[in-house]
Amino acid sequence: MKLLKITIIACFALLSSACTIHRIDVQQGNIIKPELLEQLEPGISKRQVRFIMGSPLIQDPFHADRWDYIFTMQPGHLRKVTEYQRVSVFFQDDKLVKVDKKL
């Protein structure tokens, strides 16, 4: 009887460990690197910003002088916090005037 209980418990433990769900990390948006942000200097053109940072994730047609670069990383492990980064660049007369970072 004791051997049967041990066998049942072992089988249950084995089966329950095989049922765990593996979740992958999900990255979305633009990867924002500090060395790229260092290259953003006031006065450079929109074309130069696009060359350095890539195409913006959000380019609002109502605010053509603002581009938003957003990056999120949602880890597969549920206990880890989602990483969020946002960089907004502002232009005036096709020249960079301001960089707003939330890293």
- Tens-digit pLDDT profile for residues 51-72: 999 999 888 888 889 999 999 9
Answer positive or negative: Cα dihedral of 10, 13, 14, 16: positive
Tell me: pLDDT of 98 over 90: yes
In a domain, 12, yes or no: no
Q: What is the residue range of 66's domain? A: 25-102
Residue type, 92: Q
Average pLDDT, the chain: 85
For the record, the structure tokens of 88 come out as 């907004």
Task: Residue 51: give its domain's CATH number.
Answer: 3.30.1450.10
Q: What is the pLDDT of residue 24?
A: 83
Tell if the pTM clears 0.75, that is, is over it: no
pLDDT > 70: percent of the chain? 86
For residue 61, being part of any structural domain is answered with: yes
User: In the β-sheet with 66-74, what is the strand arrangement from edge to edge?
Assistant: 26-29, 66-74, 83-92, 95-102
Whether residue 95 contacts residue 43, with contact meaning beta carbons closer than 8 Å, is answered with: yes
Confidence of residue 8 (pLDDT cuts 50, 70, 90): confident
Q: In sequence order, what are the residues at sequence separation of 6 or more whose Cβ sits closer than 8 angstroms to the Cβ of residue 19?
A: none
As for how many domains the chain has, the answer is: 1
* Residue 90 domain-assigned (yes or no): yes
- Could you tell me the pLDDT band of residue 16, with boundaries at 50, 70 and 90? low
Residue 13 maps to a domain: no
